[in-house]
Amino acid sequence: MSEHILLTIDGPRATITLNNPAVHNRLAPADIRALVAHLDTIEAATDVRVLVLTGAGEKTFCAGFDLGSLKPGAASAEGRRYSFEALCDRVEACRIPTIGALNGSVYGGGTDLALACDFRVGVRGMRAFLPAGRLGLHYYPGGLRRFTERLGPGVAKRFLLLAEEFDDAELLRIGYIDWLVERTALAARIDGLATTLGGLAPLSVTGMKASINDISRSAFDEAAMRQRIRTCALSEDLVEGIAAVTEKRKPVFRGR
């Protein structure tokens, strides 16, 4: 397990920290394997309801893949399983809501890792830059899809074709980040979002997240969505939610 990828679980909240600020939290192959293992742990922990992904230090959230580890040519099946693309796809598909606590700038593949989160909170002074075109790389399918789906083809082209550098205000304007806060306010904003998500009905939240992701990928599956609706309609959580409203109290959801 990589010492540069830390996992903490506190009640319904899990936090993964990219802990290598000396190299701007760049991810080597061992780091990606550690991240995938932590995601396995989180997926298996049914009492965990929200994941926060953040970086150590005050300069960079993530500078992407360690290019020194990049080997040109076709990758093996094992290599693809632990590729940067597979990691970002896995974060996007995570069962529970994910919050990117962007403690600093995002560069290279780090831009996609952040974009794979459901919500992103940035800090003033952060920047974003994706230099694939300057390196001779054709970006991978999953990343191209996320940039195009979530930001639109025009902004995707600014990131990928122009290799444009974006400042904090522009990142907020184009919707790359959902909130922009002072660095001193980041922890409180993340705590508030995590507390809100952790207190909502998990079957409802995870079901709607999966459905929204399906729709955004043009993979509309009405039967699967109807099954999620039925699951919620027959759940103990719905009974609890209605009772809480009637009794004017906070609901206690158990995910069943």
Question: How buried is residue 81: exposed, middle or buried, by Cβ count under 10 Å (0-12/13-18/19+)?
Answer: middle
In this predicted structure, what is the pLDDT of residue 74? 47
The residue ranges of every structural domain in the chain are 5-197, 200-247
In this predicted structure, what is the pLDDT of residue 45? 92
Distance CA 19, CA 28 (A): 12
Give this prediction's pTM.
Answer: 0.91
Q: Which amino acid, one-letter code, is at 50?
A: V
Cβ neighbours, 10 Å, residue 108: 24
Asked if 168 contacts 122 with a C-beta cutoff of 8 angstroms, the reply is yes
Residue 186: helix, strand or coil by DSSP? helix
In this predicted structure, what is the pLDDT of residue 76? 47
Asked if 55 contacts 103 with a C-beta cutoff of 8 angstroms, the reply is yes
Sheet of 13-18: strand order equals 5-10, 13-18, 50-55, 98-102, 119-123, 179-181
Angular region, 24: left φ>0, alpha ψ -120 to 50, beta rest: left
Strands, E assignment, the chain = 5-10, 13-18, 50-55, 60-62, 98-102, 105-107, 119-123, 127-129, 166-167, 179-181
pLDDT along the chain (256 residues), means of 10: 88 96 94 95 93 96 78 53 89 96 96 97 97 89 95 96 96 98 97 95 94 88 91 92 90 89
User: Which two tokens mark 184?
Assistant: 């001193």
Second-level CATH architecture of 5-197? Alpha-Beta Complex (3.90)
